[in-house]
């Protein structure tokens, strides 16, 4: 099987989990709000700390285990997800690559707003996507992001893929080549939310680092454990 990456895997997961998942959960965490025009862009100018400070470190430090062959395998940030597909997917991940940050940023507000455009410095042909200091510094921090729900396969979700632009195609249905880089995997800490084609604002703890599950082959770079999902109208 030569198809890499997560989308076909996610398709399988979705298909299998759809059968068992309870889709009637109340959407109590969803609030409908009118977005402030610059609500997300305006604030939190990051400042570069001369040296990393203890307070700037993620509040939840990844646990490092030693595997049989002696290699260190960082685990993802702990989560308290309710039982369901999000918990299953989050549990299936282990952080194989955790980016190191040279210029760790501190932020004067929480949650910290971040946009997809702030994820990557650039695409380096040989090194791939170069993550911004801001993104890497936000590992473990509470963030807020706006985007769209990728077209899912069921009507209520306890996890979804947040995308920069509204995707016309169901990304789970097309080939790996069509899956954009500007995505975040969102796990819902609260109840499931209904699907919407409106833009959404997600608030929660961010986890950064390539996460690769050996069993399913699922790979993701940015994950958010969302306490709150707001539909923007």
Catalog residues that contact other proteins under the rule CB under 8 A.
Answer: 1-5, 8, 11-12, 96-97, 120, 122-131, 151-153, 166-170, 173-177, 181, 197, 210, 212, 217, 219, 221
Minimum separation from the CB atom of position 165 to other proteins (A): 12
> Smaller CB distance to other proteins: residue 107 or 179?
179
Q: Where is 12: in which H helix or E strand? A: helix 6-20
Dihedral (C-alpha) 164, 170, 176, 178: value to the nearest 10 degrees?
-50
Pairwise CA distance, residues 73 & 108, whole Å: 32
Q: Which is nearer to other proteins, 120 or 140 (CB)?
A: 120
DSSP characters over 129-165: EEEPHHHHHTTTSEEEEEEEEPP-SSSEESEEEEESS
Cβ-based burial of 10 (10 A; exposed 0-12, middle 13-18, buried ≥19): buried
* C-alpha–C-alpha distance, residues 231 and 233, integer Å: 6
Cβ closer to other proteins: 212 or 228?
A: 212
Secondary-structure percent of the chain, ordered helix, strand, coil, rounded to 5: 15, 35, 50
Least gap, CB of 162 to other proteins (angstroms)? 15
By C-beta, is 189 or 193 nearer to other proteins? 193
Q: Would you say 47 or 177 has its CB closer to other proteins?
A: 177
Q: How far is the CB of 122 from other proteins (least distance, A)?
A: 4
**Paired residues of 229 in beta bridges:** 30, 202
Closest separation between CB of residue 210 and other proteins, Å?
5
Bond from prior residue into 111 cis (ω within 30 degrees of 0): yes
For the CB of residue 71, give the shortest distance to other proteins in the complex, in Å. Answer: 13
Instruction: Give min distance, CB of 36 to other proteins, in A.
Output: 26
The strand pair at 219-232 and 200-212 is best described as: antiparallel
Task: Output 44 or 136, the one with its CB closest to other proteins.
Answer: 136
């Amino acid at each position: 099987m030569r198809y890499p990456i997560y989308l076909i895997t996610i398709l399988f997961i979705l298909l299998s989990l759809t059968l068992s998942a309870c889709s009637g959960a109340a959407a109590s965490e969803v609030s409908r709000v009118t977005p402030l025009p610059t609500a997300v862009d305006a604030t939190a100018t990051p400042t570069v700390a001369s040296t990393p400070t203890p307070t700037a470190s993620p509040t939840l430090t990844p646990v490092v285990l030693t595997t049989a062959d002696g290699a260190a395998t960082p685990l993802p940030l702990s989560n308290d997800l309710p039982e369901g597909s999000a918990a299953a997917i989050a549990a299936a991940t282990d952080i194989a690559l955790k980016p190191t940050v040279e210029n760790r940023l501190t932020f004067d507000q929480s949650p910290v707003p971040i946009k997809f455009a702030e994820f990557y410095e650039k695409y380096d042909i040989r090194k791939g996507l170069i993550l911004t200091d801001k993104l890497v510094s936000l590992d473990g921090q509470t963030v807020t992001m706006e985007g769209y729900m990728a077209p899912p396969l069921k009507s209520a979700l306890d996890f979804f893929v947040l995308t920069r632009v509204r995707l016309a195609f169901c990304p789970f249905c097309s080939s790996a080549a069509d899956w954009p880089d500007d995505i975040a995997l969102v796990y819902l800490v609260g109840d499931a939310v209904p699907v919407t084609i409106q833009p959404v604002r997600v608030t929660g703890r961010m986890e950064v680092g390539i996460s690769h599950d050996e069993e399913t082959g699922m790979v993701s770079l940015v994950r958010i454990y969302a306490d709150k999902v707001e539909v923007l109208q």
